[in-house]
Amino acid sequence: MSSNIEVQKVCEFCGKEFTAKTTVTRFCSHGCASRSYKQRKKENKIGKAIEETNQQKLLSLTELNLEAIKQKDFLSIKEAHTLLGLSERTFYRLLKAGTIQAVRLGKRTIIKRSEIDKLFAS
């Protein structure tokens, strides 16, 4: 049971109008389909390369921020838990347990760098 469908379509790669034998045909020829496939693969590789470059930039920025944090004498909660490599929740647990001493200045909580150094001196 064959059908004699003839649908006028426009090739997604080259833009030429052609007569398709099925309703799902996207390209006018095998050549256009192959070139489109190759172009998609190339764009995918370029996208991955850009993503890797962005990840490297992000890591270098994080390292720079970490170096800046190490130079400070007084740290915020975020800076302190970043420096220690802890989650924010775990850091708050240490504060509540009294392992780390903090001072409230208005709405801000400040931690002395020496308090963090004491954790590793013992």
pLDDT value, residue 61: 67
Asked if residue 110 lies in contact with residue 102, where contact means CB atoms within 8 angstroms, the answer is yes
pLDDT reported for residue 64:
67
CA distance 93 to 41: 48
- Residue 116: the pLDDT is 87
pLDDT confidence of residue 2: 59
Q: Which helix (H) or strand (E) holds 74?
A: strand 74-75
- Can you give the pLDDT at residue 122? 61
How large is the average pLDDT for residues 3-10? 90
What would the DSSP string read from start to end of 82-93?
Answer: HHHT--HHHHHH
Q: What is the mean pLDDT of residues 75-91?
A: 88
Closest CA relative to residue 78, chosen from 111, 55, 117: 111
DSSP 8-state secondary structure symbol assigned to residue 107: T
Instruction: Determine the Cα–Cα distance for residues 42 and 119; give it in Å rounded to an integer.
Output: 51
- Residue 43: half-sphere exposure toward Cβ, Cα within 13 Å: 6
- Mean residue pLDDT of the chain comes to 89
pLDDT given at position 26:
95
pLDDT in tens, 23-74: 999 999 999 999 999 999 999 999 999 999 988 887 776 776 778 888 889 9
